[in-house]
Homo-oligomer: A and B are copies of this chain.
Amino acid sequence: MRHMLNPLDFSLEETESLLELAADIEKDRFRYAHVCDGKKLATLFYEPSTRTRLSFEAAMLNLGGSVLGFSSADSSSASKGESVSDTIRVISCYADICAMRHPKEGAAYVASTKSSIPVINAGDGGHQHPTQTLTDLYTIRSLKGRLSNMTVGLCGDLKFGRTVHSLINALSRYEGIRFILISPPELKVPDYIKESVLDAKNIEYRETTSLDDAMEELDILYMTRVQKERFFNEEDYIRMKDCYILDKDKMKLAKPDMYVLHPLPRVNEISVEVDDDPRAAYFKQVQNGVYVRMALIMTLLEVEKPC
């Protein structure tokens, strides 16, 4: 039995198969409308994340399956002192596969060791969120036709941004990737990632504090939200959060085939005036998230492609 705890759990080849399957689903979603008939997905969200939860639910429903679960810890047995290990054993009696979001790093891993159904990590603290990363890969691949040989700008909170770290890891497995890391000095990519991933694999990158300067070089710009809860005081947050706002003027500096991604939700780091730019791909990314999750559920349940 396979789980999906970390985006790197799948080899390059397995990842390629998954993205291929997602692409086939995108072409004709309705061919897949009954492949998971009678299967149940449990969504175990120990902290709320509507977007992620509903994406999983839409994916399972699109496959003909059904859904049960909880959307916050208050309504779970966690409050009665039950361990994640016990909960997953119970849930294994109720569902065929589960997606778990938990505030503690490693929670999904612990669950997987006791589970008799596949566990998908839907976010464990600041650690991993593999279906977001797979969605990012799928979106880049679908927009650019490839996952290699391009310059990817990562902008915003590169210090705490879980999705950014995962994406660096995941893209580092492809050839000819070059990163431009755009952030205020306080929110730079941590040294351990630079050393263990970028330097270790001889991946080209440069750091800059200026989004304007980077724009014209980019094939992909990955924007992130600067989360209030990451800052010690309100002032630092306010000073920081408006530094890296993408607007129409900045978009003029970019290539005509440079695409903008964002894991959402955004607050104001992308001006709404950018939404109508054909290069704005962040809502397309949401749609892709459903296809990727459909492909992942099928893969982990070892469901056959319909013929």
Contacts and interface: CB of A to CB of B under 8 A. Distances in A.
B82 A54 contact: no
A58 B40 contact: yes
Contacts of A54: 42, 68-70, 90-91, 94
A208 interface: no
Chain A's interface size range is 35 or more
Nearest to A283: B89
Contact of A66 (B66, B266, B287): B66
Contacts of A239: none
Nearest to A270: B86
Contacts of A58: 40, 68, 93-95
Interface string A35-47: 0001010100000
A57 B67 CA distance: 9
A299 interface: no
A76 interface: yes
A287 B72 CA distance: 24
A57 B42 CA distance: 11
A267 B50 contact: no
A300 interface: no
Nearest to A229: B80
Interface in A66-102: 66-72, 74-77, 79-82, 85-86, 89-91, 93-95
Contact of A81 (B77, B265, B272, B286): B265
Interface in A255-286: 264-267, 272, 283, 286
Nearest to A227: B80
A218 interface: no
Nearest to A65: B61
Contacts of A72: 74-75
Contact of A77 (B40, B75, B90, B265): B265
Contacts of A74: 48, 72
A266 B33 CA distance: 39
Contact of A50 (B51, B57, B76): B76
Interface of A: 30, 33, 38, 40, 42, 48-51, 54-55, 57-58, 61, 66-72, 74-77, 79-82, 85-86, 89-91, 93-95, 264-267, 272, 283, 286-287, 289-290
